[in-house]
Chain A
Amino acid sequence: MAEYKRPTSEQEFAKNFHPKKPLMSDTEAYYESSRCLYCYDAPCITACPTGIDIPTFIRQINNDNKDGAAKTIYDSNWMGHACGNVCPTEELCEGACVYTNSDVKPIEIGRLQAHATDKVIRSKKKLFITGKPTGKKVAVIGAGPAGVSCACELRMLGHAVDIYEAREKPSGLCVYGVAPYKLTNEEAVDEIAYLREQFGFHIHYSKPVTGRADFERLEQDYDAVFIGIGLGATSALGIPGEDKKGVMGALEFVEVLRNKHQATPVGGKVIVLGGGNTAIDAASESCRMGAESVTIAYRRGPEEMGAYSFEFDLAKKSGAKALYNVTPLEVLGNGSVTGVKFIRNKAAYGKIEAIPGSEFVEPCDMVLLGTGQGKQVELLEQISGLALDKKGRILDNRGRIVVNENYQTNNPKYFAAGDAVNGGVEVVNAAAEAKKAAHGMDQYLKK
């Protein structure tokens, strides 16, 4: 295959990872925005988890009011620029565009959104006035999409906010986990910097909250705490040999890739285990890094893959192959990985069943585990009162936080949203939930 040459320079990397949805020029945005029909009760708004007034912002772009367009976007979604780039728009707003009902190309809503927000981020124009100070202080744990969205909304409501971020950069998976052809680190970080400038919340970097003492201190110093910690590391598969050199989590691979670019070590023959979006992203990226072969191995058939079909199509177009109905039994190798031993499956009454004697070995020199991220159960257990639920569970059996409609945990001082709550969905879901959580906190703080 090798559709892509292994990149050896920043230019070659940039070529292979050319943005899937490049920024629009003014002219392109003008023409594209001209096509919008301005539907009544527009389906694109309903399809957006944050309910952005899409026809209005498109009309604002068309009428030469980009600041107004950006304001309309941010009014509903503080991750406006990130979402314009990383949202699965094919499944959301653009998938709902009425043009699709007549086989006309839907409006490129994501790119128009990124166009408008990019303009204000670069102009640094102030669009928002923070609320009248309430004297209340909120600690936000995690400067990812949920944490930053919550912080912006709390500042609009007049509360002071400190964000504690374990890492040295903000924006969570936007910097550490999104495919580089969707959003660059600079874009992700610039949006947070723009918002921070607007709202004056503080981000304390490299300040992980790790234990009971940290939580107690936050409880003491702040009137409320928001948990926007996302999920943890890639879960282990639980098969022999997965500690061999050359085996790594798909998410961890993306993180290295985003930060090391062409210097990221990528094998010649890569096997990706899993059928979710992260697995499929890792496969697309391995192809772009010039791997000779990339094989996605999934336990079930293609129709049951968790990944969006357009992402899977992209991976296939990038050169990835797929092995369906196979379960990995063992990672083989002597120190370094040399292959994966699989057994074939068949579906039986919704479950999968191994076919005896169907074992085979697929040679490789790199294995990426797209087995999903673990939950940060141990950390959450450090919050007093959170681990126990008087009515039932605080943490359900998947380690997820159970919250009420205000995203308040059963420890009333703690609120939570984003991947930590929803188990890992899109940036846009985190932005939507965190905004609601901020209003929940506002109600709590006003009491």
Chain B
Amino acid sequence: MADLRTNLAGIKSPNPFWLASAPPTNSGYQIMKAFDAGWGGAVWKTLGVPVVNVSSRYGAVNYRDKRMVGFNNIELITDRPLRDNLREISEVKKRFPDHAVIASLMVETKEEWHQIVRDVENAGADGIELNFGCPHGMCERGMGSAVGQEPKVLQMIVEWVKEVAKVPVITKLTPNISDITRPARAARAGGSDAISLINTIQSIVGVDIDQFVPYPIVDGKSTNGGYCGPAVKPIALNMVKNCAQHPDVNLPISGIGGVENWRDAVEFILLGATTVQVCTAVMHFGFGIIREILPGIERYMDEKGFKTIEDFRGKALPNIKHWEDLNLKYKVTASINESKCIGCQLCYTACEDGAHQAIALSSDPANRIPSIIDENCVGCNLCSLVCPVEDCITMERRDDGKQHLTWGERTAAGNIPKTFDDPLAGGLHHWVPEPAEALVKKKPRHYKG
């Protein structure tokens, strides 16, 4: 039976699922409710000098009928007095001693940092998360992502905190930077015990095309927000991987960004995260999603024979290489399972207009099942991605598996294209229709070179 208990730099929790510092952790009420539902930890909505917020605060990206695939906010840190939050932290810890309560903090001066670190420790917080990520509102005041984008400042503040902190310190990183490992390395240099990432990405989620104002609209005006939700997961995964792979970072990671189900969590863990933090999915569906997450990851671990999170943490990292180290001899082409094909021909039009003209239609209009032109197929996957039927188009291996040659090796051997019309050009073998064929009104049903 899977053991989900985790230990992130000394912060222990019954499972790796934490609530991220955000509106769902605004109060002790919400956090108790979440722990009662099964969440393992919570990072308190960022504490500091309380703010005043605007209305409205959120905007979303919908994809067709799917709501909130992307989400942004212009809300700031807590607007509640510190003493209320401290009292509630104590209350939560008293009721849930084994759950992780982490205080997210954001203040300005060294004295304030020292003071608030002591306050939250006295209240019973198991750890501290430094909010160096908020990309709106606070950064203009020299806090949040303004710190996260300046590794030297970041390191200095981590050092201030570490001067007094007795509990583990997590530095939360902003993705609004070109190389995420720079602030990560600065956090390590400052003595941070762990990092968490990513915070939200600066964004405009859309524009009201009648009022000519981006969302969310505040009295006819708007401002950039911080983007999160399922849409940012790929960016978060990549940044987690970058930090996990970098030898000079070498810190435990709490992964954040678009996690909403067990599978997302497994992916973050496979890339090196010890815990994951969730916000948007809870804001969308409530704390109840933990009912799907916990049995989901347990089933996965049992099936794979993983006893603990550590058993598979970072397991995908060795398989992430630089492009130049990928095998150029590996060859897959698409294969259409005719018994599953429903005849939508999305693969045909995608390949025809968006890829390599490697799918043909039957000359019999009654037969809507397309066929792969094997010699034109470059194995790009596009058809299998657009196909609406599960496992209808699969990518089949065509090479014998015995050869291995990378770009790096070819470069070393001097065997790469060097001139504009080099005969080593990779696309030379690939048939491309004559341009004017595109204008033939009655399209040949069967494209074949």
- Assembled-state Cα–Cα distance A219/B243 (Å): 86
Chain B residues with Cβ under 8 A from A98's Cβ?
Answer: 342-344, 368
Near B by CB (< 8 A), chain A positions 133-176 give none
Whether the pair B344, A39 counts as a contact (CB closer than 8 A) is yes
Beta-carbon nearest neighbor of B390 in chain A: A102
B58-95 contacts to A, CB under 8 A, are 64-66
Closest residue to B64 on the A side, CB-wise?
A: A34
Contact A101 B343, beta carbon cutoff 8 Å: yes
Given known A-B contacts A98-B342, A101-B343, A102-B342, A40 and B349 have beta carbons under 8 A apart: yes
- Majority DSSP secondary structure for residues of B touching A: loop
A383 vs chain B, min Cβ distance (A) = 40
8 A Cβ contacts from B377-406 to A: 388-389
Mask, A85-110, CB within 8 Å of B = 1, is 00000000000001101100000000
A302 located at the interface, meaning its Cβ lies under 8 Å from any Cβ of chain B in the complex: no
Across-interface contacts of B361 in A (CB, < 8 A) = 41
Residues of B within 8 A of A38 (CB): 346
Contacts A31-B65, A34-B64 given: A41-B389 contact, CB under 8 Å? no
Instruction: Count CB-based A-B contacts (< 8 Å).
Output: 34
Contact of A34 among B65, B340, B341, B346 (CB under 8 A): B65
Contact of B64 among A40, A62, A99, A102 (CB under 8 A): A62
Evaluate contact between B346 and A30: CB separation under 8 angstroms. Answer: no
Scan B340-365; emit 1 where CB is below 8 A from any A CB, else 0. Answer: 11111110110000000000010000
- Chain B neighbourhood of A39, CB < 8 A: 343-346
Q: What is the minimal beta-carbon distance from A290 to any residue of chain B, in angstroms?
A: 41
Majority SS of interface residues in chain A?
Answer: helix
Residue of B nearest to A30 (CB): B65
B-side contacts of A43, CB under 8 Å: 343, 368
Report the minimum CB–CB distance from A284 to chain B (whole Å).
32
Please tell me which one of the listed residues B66, B340, B348 contacts residue A40 in the complex, with CB atoms under 8 A apart. Answer: B348
In chain A, positions 36-72 with a C-beta closer than 8 Å to chain B are 37-41, 43, 62
- Given A34-B65, A62-B64: A40 in contact with B345 (beta carbons within 8 A): yes
CB distance from B336 to the nearest CB of A (A): 14
Please measure, in the bound complex, the distance between the C-alpha atom of A34 and the C-alpha atom of B388, giving whole angstroms.
13
Shortest beta-carbon distance, B29 to chain A, in Å? Answer: 33
- Most chain A Cβ neighbours within 10 Å, of B340, B343, B349: B343
Binding site for A on B (CB under 8 A): 64-66, 340-346, 348-349, 361, 368, 388-389
Contacts beyond the supplied A38-B346, A43-B368: 7 A-B pairs with Cβ under 8 Å: A31-B65, A34-B66, A39-B343, A40-B344, A41-B345, A101-B341, A102-B342
Interface residues of A (CB under 8 A from B): 30-31, 34, 37-41, 43, 62, 98-99, 101-102
- Provide 25 A-B residue pairs closer than 8 Å at the C-beta atoms, listed in order of the A residue: A30-B65, A31-B65, A34-B64, A34-B65, A34-B66, A37-B346, A37-B388, A39-B343, A39-B344, A39-B345, A39-B346, A40-B344, A40-B345, A40-B346, A40-B349, A43-B368, A62-B64, A98-B343, A98-B344, A99-B342, A101-B341, A101-B343, A102-B340, A102-B342, A102-B389
